Structure 1
Amino acid sequence: MAKNNTHSQFETTILRPLKSGPDDLSAFIVLPNSASAALPRWGRTSVDVSMNGYDFEATLEPDGQLSHWLPISKDQLEAASVGVGDQVNFTIIGVEKEPEPALPADFQQALAAAPEARAVWEDTTTIARVDWIHWIVTAKQAKTRAKRIADACDMLASGKRRVCCFDPSGYYSKALSAPKAAE
């Protein structure tokens, strides 16, 4: 992936998800492959977005096809004066420094109870923390999530700085994908 020029402009249709997810996703787009290829990584990545001239920061999600998808909220649609089904102009620019990811409460509690793990966590890079959190939150079942949190604490306590068993792009495991679009 290119690291220097992450600026991409394209036009695409805003899609409505077939099913609403836990975050009540209103709309989304799938980036063209050329726009994803210009980004600094295939996994979750933060970008500055311009949607029909309305600017905001967002985190792109990997779609498992070596591309990314962008969740779009109802408020963002309204602010840009666009709707589902509209052809919209986008500009995507990778941020210079990845923002610190929000730490889920259950993982935060587990790290608080494991000082050795917490020390390694605090000494890792932001991108590594993004990948750890992404691995945990992509668990489909509560039991799997709890196991991943316990495993993360064990791995961190043993000195592992990166999650060992997670493909953040979803390409090789096919674990990640964009939502299915409603017709």
Structure 2
Amino acid sequence: MPDTTRSRFKAKLLRPKKSDDGAPWAFVVLPKDASAKLPRRGRTTVAGSINGHGFQATLEPDGQLSHWLRLEQALLAHAGVNVGEVATLEIAALADEPDPEAPSDLLEALAGAPEAGAVWEETTNIARLDWIHWITSAKQAKTRAKRVADACDMLASGKRRVCCFDPSGYYSKAFRAPEVAE
């Protein structure tokens, strides 16, 4: 059976205006047709290659019903490509979304709330990914702490999905690709 999520395209490697950790990296905004083949508009893990060099990464939603991909400097060096150049990329969604790494503040809260922890363990990886994205997308520490507490309350009450959360960012404009450095 052919992989209907597979896409091959050329894209210019862009430098972000701001780097959260100071380390150099690049990004690519996926063409709309490549993004449309993916199983979801939210975070999606893909296996891919850049100029023939393989990687696995999680695509982020761009708030425009597409995705963007962060490319670390080590991968760029391995692929022999630099920011500003055009590279050939190939991506395909993984058949099974891997278990996401939960942030430590959420894990601590779940450890202190056994009912919530039990429901967390029973949820799908995609649902966990949405919970994590909702929590980590908070811009302020106070908002993040409230979301962690609210997540525990919702999970303890049996909710397996974040209510009122748009994982694509399209309706809430919560997510977008980085701004391009000039």
What TM-score comes out, normalization by structure 1 length? 0.96
Alignment of 1:19-34 (within 5 A): 19-22=18-21, 24=23, 26-34=25-33
Alignment of 1:155-170 (within 5 A): 155-170=154-169
Gap change, CA 1:160 and 1:25, over 3 Å in 2: farther
In structure 2, distance between residues paired with 1:25 and 1:100: 27
Matched, 1:124 2:127: no
Measured after TM superposition, the shift of residue 165 of structure 1 is 1.8
Q: Which residue does 1:39 correspond to in 2?
A: 38
Deviating 4+ runs (over 2 angstroms) = 22-25
What TM-score comes out, normalization by structure 2 length? 0.97
Give per-residue Cα distances to partners, 1:41-79, cap 9 Å, x unaligned. Answer: 000000011100000100000000000000010111111
Q: Which residue does 2:133 correspond to in 1?
A: 134
Q: Which residue does 1:80 correspond to in 2?
A: 79
* 3-state SS of paired residue (2:146): helix
Q: Which residue does 1:7 correspond to in 2?
A: 6
Matched residue pairs, number?
180
In structure 2, distance between residues paired with 1:23 and 1:165: 33
Gaps of 5+ in 1: none
Q: Is the 8 A contact 1:131 1:168 kept in 2?
A: yes
Aligned-pair identity (%): 63
Q: Which residue does 2:17 correspond to in 1?
A: 18
Q: Which residue does 1:93 correspond to in 2?
A: 92
Alignment of 1:139-178 (within 5 A): 139-178=138-177
